[in-house]
Amino acid sequence: MDLVCADNQKNLLYFLMQQAEGERRFRIVEEPCETLVGSLALGDFNGDGRLDLALGGQEAFIRYQSESGVLGDSRKLDEGGAFALAADLNGDERTDLALIDPERTALFLQGASGVLNNPLRLRHAVKAAPPPLCFDLDGDGRDDLMYRDAETADQIAIRYQSAGAGLGPEIVCKAGFAFSIAGAAVAGEGGAALAATENKTQMLKIMRLGPGESREGEDLPMSLMRRLPYANEKETGAVRLALGDLRGDSALEILSLAESLPALDAVSQSPGGALERRTIPALLGARKIRISRDSRGSIAWMLSAKEKTIGAGRIAGGEMEFPQPLELGAEPQAFDLADFDGSGFDDLAVVASAAGKTKIVVLYDPAPGALAEARRGELALADTGAELDEEQIEEMIAADLNRDGRPDLALFPDYGDPILLAHDGADGFQTVLLGGASQGQFEGLAPSQLLIDDWDGDGLNEILAAKSSFVRVLSMESGGGFRVLAQLNGKSGSSQIAAVALGDLDGDGRRETILLDRASQCATVYGRGEGGELALRRHIPLEPLAAQTLLCGDIDGNGRDDLIAGAANQFAILLSGVSEPAPKRVAERRSEVENGGYRLAAMGDLVSGGGAEIAALENKERLLEFFQLDAGNELRRIYKFKVFSGEGAHGFFDPAQARPPEPREILFPDFDGDGRNDLALIVHDKAIVYRQLAPDETE
């Protein structure tokens, strides 16, 4: 076996070539390198049975090995990536190449012909800290991808590989403040383990997948966060989330509507459990989408402020037809769907402006291609008694406010308080006057902070209004006033409730009330017991997502509603009824050196027993220590030696500023083919190889 090293100061690659089988000396070959090398990866990247060399960096290359055993043809890849990683990342038993930067992974999958396909770009929801790890973490026989979060330092992101679907979304979980982390299937029983050197304590920590302590005893289990960036990496806060069935198969998709894209980004969960993502052509800059039904099936309606229209596309054959613009004779500002005439089918209510006047237009029983047949109701907004200057209406909600069985309207101007309009029983609406205490209940509410729905299951709507640190549940009285039925408080007095939603998270047929708390970065859940009593169920942590919006719907089809939390540049899915394994500390070790500590962790098969041992660098004395972890999670040191003399740095390290430890890279190859793995270190400007001797051998 040979060894390849890169020297960026001299722009050279060093090849330490094995002279012959069993020979312990190397022949050193130098070659100029055309790029700065961030990492090296070996794999058969063209299916010819020979190992090739991938060079990761701002520019990435592959050097292919020829039949004569030398590196010949060089291919510059379409994408760069500081860290190159070779593994089978889609389960087809061919070697693929991943180029990983902090913001994204470029995944080159090898096709059946042996050619690497065009890159599949996986954007990260966290900033990946090098080096990434690739090994079978969950024991299903497929390699998974994992990396530390460079921003929070105490989290890791795991992309599990699933059968037929490749790498999944980032599942983010706590792992402690680690300076370095390694992972592999350890020797003996017990499966894979993670070894990390903690930044604060300088201890060696061993973790295995197990039930997270925060989940034990929970009566409302939730999965770890699956975090997905929005489709357009330049979007920051200009994306709206919605739930809808755009295939007509009753399976919900998470729809991202971006102001800069003429398309919808749709995420759904396949029957096998993997998340699928697709792009659906749509109006440019769609800001709202709703789905209605008529006698022929489902229709998707969407509003585009940039195209100044509402489009309607019928859902047929598992797809949404391209939305056809409606001729309204005015510029739409907001819309919603409700059955205003009692026909059993949804009607379309639109706030629109024309000739400097704002009006409400209702199209009764509309359908694409047959709008001329739809009955039309229209009145100026001023005729409803609403006082509105020239502000734009940002959102409209259609629901029964006053419990008379007819849909009413809530309008949200860009500036100012919501305007409540009650249906007059014909084609008109009248303003609900908000004065005194009633005005304070609705003052300054955003659309996400007002929910009109059947909160208590009695068949009549209540109004849920989020105010600072609490949510008040209101009912509208026949005389037009409002009565407070309940108040649900946030996690603390400093809570900031940004959104409220209803959903059946435990599948018992009773919906819970979920409060999105921006200040505490959690979702506070209230539920009802068998006797109908209201009680706090749990606080679901959402940090560090900085969630701004909250949706609730059954994404995985298990009969329980799931949570979708939207942030400025990404969103997260939390599946209900799922208690996932998370890295859990099973063993730890403190350095025996006074004021010393561990700085670097690595894993490899040192004793050639089919599983990995753990190597840890004691940084003060430059000791390399080796440990075995047994099935009972006992950590036993089996060997140690001093790499070189001289005291190293110790104490607390700032990972962003600290220099790498020396040695800084550790490998466990079998150089001489004797069946015993050897040890290779990168120390300062040297590559050091330690041969492993047989028990009766001396050197």
The last residue of one of the domains, among 404, 432, 460, is 432
The verdict on 423 and 441 lying in the same domain is no
Q: pLDDT tens-digit profile of 62-95?
A: 999 988 878 888 899 988 888 999 999 998 999 9
**Predicted confidence (pLDDT) at residue 450 exceeds the cutoff of 80:** yes
| pLDDT value, residue 215 | 45
Give residue 217's pLDDT band: very low, low, confident or very high (50, 70, 90): very low
587 domain-assigned: no
The residue that leads in pLDDT, 428 or 267, is: 267
CATH code of the domain in which 420 resides: 2.120.10.10
Question: In angstroms, what CA-CA distances link 207 with 185, 232, 412, 588, 597?
Answer: 12, 35, 50, 9, 18
Instruction: In whole angstroms, give the CA distance from residue 594 to residue 201.
Output: 13
Q: Give whole-number Cα distances, 352 to 336, 361, 595, in Å.
A: 12, 7, 72
- Backbone dihedral angles phi then psi of residue 166, each to the nearest 5 degrees: 70, -150
- Mean per-residue pLDDT of the chain: 87
The mean pLDDT value for 10-30 works out to 82
Residues 286 and 321 grouped into a single domain: yes
Rounded-to-integer distance, Cα 472 and Cα 48, Å: 68
The last residue of one of the domains, among 579, 612, 644, is 579
Least confident of 165-179, 254-268, 657-671: 657-671
Which single residue is written with the structure tokens 């599949």?
120
Residues 317 and 454 grouped into a single domain: no
Lowest average pLDDT, out of 236-240, 369-373, 517-521, 611-615, goes to: 369-373
**Residue 294 CB partners (closer than 8 Å, separation 6+):** 345, 346, 365, 367
Rounded Cα distance between 275 and 268, Å, is: 6
Assigned domain for 605 exists: no
The confidence band for 39, taking pLDDT boundaries of 50, 70 and 90, is very high
270 in any annotated domain: no
Same domain for 446 and 524, yes or no, is yes
Give the pairing type, strands 534-541 and 549-553: unpaired
Q: How high is the pLDDT of residue 367?
A: 73
Mean pLDDT of 179-192: 78
Same-domain status, 425 and 438: no
Q: Please tell me what DSSP assigns to residue 476.
A: E
Indicate the range of 198-207, 355-364, 369-378 predicted with least confidence: 369-378
Domain membership of residue 567 (yes or no) is yes
Q: Report the share of the chain in percent with pLDDT over 70.
A: 92
Residues 335, 470 share a domain: no
Look at residue 89 in the predicted model and tell me its pLDDT.
93
Same domain for 389 and 485?
no
- Per-residue pLDDT tens for 523-563? 999 998 888 889 999 999 998 889 999 999 999 999 999 99
Structural domains counted in the chain: 3
What pLDDT does residue 320 have? Answer: 93
Check: CB of residue 352 under 8 Å from CB of residue 358.
yes
Average pLDDT over residues 498-524: 96
Residue 573 reports pLDDT greater than 90 = yes
The residue-averaged pLDDT of 509-523 equals 96
- Host H or E run for residue 313: strand 309-316
The confidence band for 344, taking pLDDT boundaries of 50, 70 and 90, is confident
Residues whose CB is less than 8 angstroms from the CB of residue 105 and which lie 6 or more positions away in sequence, other chains included: 81, 98, 99, 121, 122, 124, 128, 145
Q: What is the pLDDT of residue 226?
A: 92
Q: Could you give the 3-state DSSP secondary structure of residue 440? A: helix
Q: Is residue 349 part of a domain?
A: yes
Full 3-state SS string of 510-567? CCEEEEEECCCCEEEEEEECCCCCEEEEEEEECCCCCCCEEEEECCCCCCCCEEEEEC
Within 10 A of 12 (CB to CB), how many other CB atoms are there? 14
Q: Are residues 321 and 361 in the same domain?
A: yes
On the question of pLDDT at 47 being above 80, the answer is yes
- In this structure, the dihedral spanned by the alpha carbons of residues 471, 577, 508 and 548, taken in order and rounded to 10 degrees, is 20
From 415, 432, 449, the end of a domain falls on: 432
Predicted confidence at residue 42, as pLDDT, reads: 94
* 371 and 439 belong to one structural domain: no
Amino acid letter for position 494: S
Three-state SS annotation for 332-350: EEEEEEECCCCCCCCEEEE
Residue 421 · residue 432 · CB < 8 Å: yes
Residues 207-212: what's their mean pLDDT?
A: 76
Q: Which residue has the higher pLDDT, 653 or 105?
A: 105
Q: Which of 36, 48, 56, 141 is nearest to 97 (CA)?
A: 56
Side chain identity, residue 17 = M
Decide if pLDDT at 1 tops 80.
Answer: no
- Is the distance from CB of 559 to CB of 552 less than 8 angstroms? no
Range 228-247 average pLDDT: 80
Specify whether 445 is located in the same domain as 566.
yes
Does 575 lie in the same domain as 455?
yes
Q: Which of 150-154, 238-242, 586-590 has the lowest mean pLDDT?
A: 150-154
pTM, full prediction = 0.84
Helix (H) / strand (E) containing 625: strand 623-629
Question: What's the mean pLDDT in 568-591?
Answer: 89
pLDDT at position 214, please? 43
Hey, which bits of 437-511 come out as E strands?
450-453, 462-467, 470-476, 482-489, 497-503
Answer yes or no: is 674 within a domain: no
CATH of the domain at 545: 2.130.10.130
pLDDT mean over 384-402: 82
Same domain, 364 and 391: yes
pLDDT in tens, 423-446: 988 878 888 877 666 778 899 999
Asked if the structure places residue 295 within a domain, the reply is: yes
pLDDT digits (tens, 9 = 90+) for 611-656: 788 999 998 889 999 999 887 888 999 999 998 876 655 544 444 4
pLDDT at 216 over 50: no
Question: What would the pLDDT profile of 279-333 be if each residue is shown by its tens digit?
Answer: 999 999 899 999 988 777 889 999 998 999 999 999 988 899 999 998 888 899 9
Which long-range contacts link 382-391 to residues 24+ away (Cβ below 8 Å)?
A: 382/357, 382/358, 383/428, 384/360, 384/421, 384/428, 384/429, 384/430, 384/431, 385/430, 385/431, 386/411, 386/419, 386/421, 386/431, 388/358, 388/413, 388/419, 390/356, 391/415, 391/416
What pLDDT does 507 receive? Answer: 92
- Would 563 be classed as within a structural domain? yes
CA distance 480 to 353: 28
Q: Cα–Cα distance between 518 and 568 in angstroms, integer?
A: 13
The two tokens of residue 503 are 């959903």
- When pLDDT is cut at 50, 70 and 90, the band that residue 152 belongs to is confident
Range of 399's domain?
282-432
pLDDT at 502: 98
- Find out whether 105 and 97 touch, Cβ atoms under 8 Å: no
Cis preceding-peptide flag for 32 (omega within 30 of 0)? no
